């Protein structure tokens, strides 16, 4: 049904995607050819093809049980990291992916996005400008596909997960896609500083193949739009449509949570909330299956 799938970023909110996918994918037998992902959305996409979601949640319960804070300000006096996120996240990716890394080769092509900094800004200035632009888009403009990052000169790069030769390479790629100071240090890819892929667009539809077909787009925060809506994207290819969509058109079905996902993006003190986020996704998945025929029917007559 869906030839391509998008996993938007969102940190811990991406547990909503895991719950949604675990309900919807088996029922619709979704076997996408291409997946695009940003930050934790990319991490989730990889996880779903290598591990069981419940196993990973139990892993995080154990990994985070002794982490009582999201910031240890006393570490400033000792010259140590104030925020524990980078250390915990990297080790988690290695532990989760490592034993099952070979399974990635049987997964769809997973394209993971990073944001390169504007050439006219230094690393520190670019981080500040990028974070300001990101938060304006998120909290003020609430745009589905932001533009401020690109106007500042941030530009995306997408790297295929299957091109990673070792699990360390995949962990580094996901972390580069998730790079959000101060929770992580400024990271580098091929010697060049990069930031979270969401600095350009947290919902990476531009990395999709520009071909006719149906695309499932899973976002993780609430936008002033219906919970499910279809965007008709005119493609560069005139033929090849299947499943009832018009030739030369890519039907992008966006779905967002029915309520605010009950966990903060970078909260590493409440692993039990991951289950609540997952459960909301599963519930929304059930409603999605019920409403799907009507949504596509309405789009066809729009």
- Closest C-alpha to 12, from 206, 289, 195, 280: 280
Query: Tokens 């030769």 map to which residue?
Result: 165
Q: Are 32 and 4 in contact (CB under 8 A)?
A: yes
Would you say how long the chain is, in residues? 302
Strands 249-255 and 228-234: antiparallel
State the DSSP H helix or E strand holding residue 151, giving kind and residue range, or none if neither: helix 148-152
> Which residues pair with residue 115 across a beta bridge?
156, 195
Q: Are 278 and 53 in contact (CB under 8 A)?
A: yes
Strands 187-189 and 192-196: antiparallel
- Running DSSP on this structure, what letter comes out for residue 271? T
CB neighbour class for 45 (10 Å; exposed up to 12, middle 13-18, buried from 19): buried
Tokens of 83: 């925020």
CA pair distance 203, 235, nearest whole angstrom: 18
| Active site (catalytic) residues | 39, 196
Q: How many CA atoms, within 13 angstroms, populate the side-chain half-sphere of residue 53?
A: 21
| Residue-wise DSSP of 87-141 | HHHHHHHHHHHGGGGGGGGGSPEEEEEEEEPPTTS-HHHHHHHHHHHHHIIIIII
Q: Is 180 helix (H, G, I), strand (E, B) or coil?
A: coil
């Amino acid at each position: 049904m869906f030839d391509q799938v998008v996993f938007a970023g969102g940190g811990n909110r991406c547990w909503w995607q895991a719950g949604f996918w675990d309900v919807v994918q088996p029922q619709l037998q979704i076997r996408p050819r291409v997946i695009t992902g940003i930050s934790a959305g990319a991490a989730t996409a990889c996880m779903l093809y290598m591990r069981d979601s419940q196993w990973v949640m139990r892993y995080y319960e154990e990994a985070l049980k002794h982490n009582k804070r999201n910031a240890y300000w006393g570490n400033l006096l000792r010259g140590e990291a104030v925020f524990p996120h980078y250390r915990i996240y990297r080790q988690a990716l290695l532990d989760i992916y490592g034993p099952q890394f070979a399974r990635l080769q049987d997964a769809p092509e997973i394209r993971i996005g990073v944001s390169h900094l504007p050439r006219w800004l230094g690393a520190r200035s670019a981080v500040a400008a990028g974070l300001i632009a990101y938060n304006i888009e998120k909290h003020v403009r609430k745009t589905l596909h932001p533009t401020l990052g690109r106007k500042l000169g941030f530009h995306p790069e997408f790297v295929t997960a299957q091109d990673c030769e070792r699990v360390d390479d995949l962990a580094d790629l996901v972390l580069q896609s998730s790079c959000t100071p101060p929770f992580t240090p400024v990271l580098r890819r091929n010697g060049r500083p990069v930031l979270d892929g969401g600095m350009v667009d947290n919902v990476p539809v531009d990395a999709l193949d520009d071909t006719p077909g149906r695309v499932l787009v899973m976002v993780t925060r609430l936008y002033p739009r219906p919970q499910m809506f279809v965007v008709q994207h005119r493609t560069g290819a005139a033929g090849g449509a299947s499943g009832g969509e018009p030739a030369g058109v890519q039907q992008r079905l966006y779905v967002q949570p029915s309520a605010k996902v009950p966990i903060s993006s970078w909260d590493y003190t409440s692993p039990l909330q991951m289950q609540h986020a997952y459960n909301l996704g599963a519930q929304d998945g059930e409603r999605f299956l019920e409403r799907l025929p009507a949504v596509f029917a309405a789009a066809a007559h729009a």
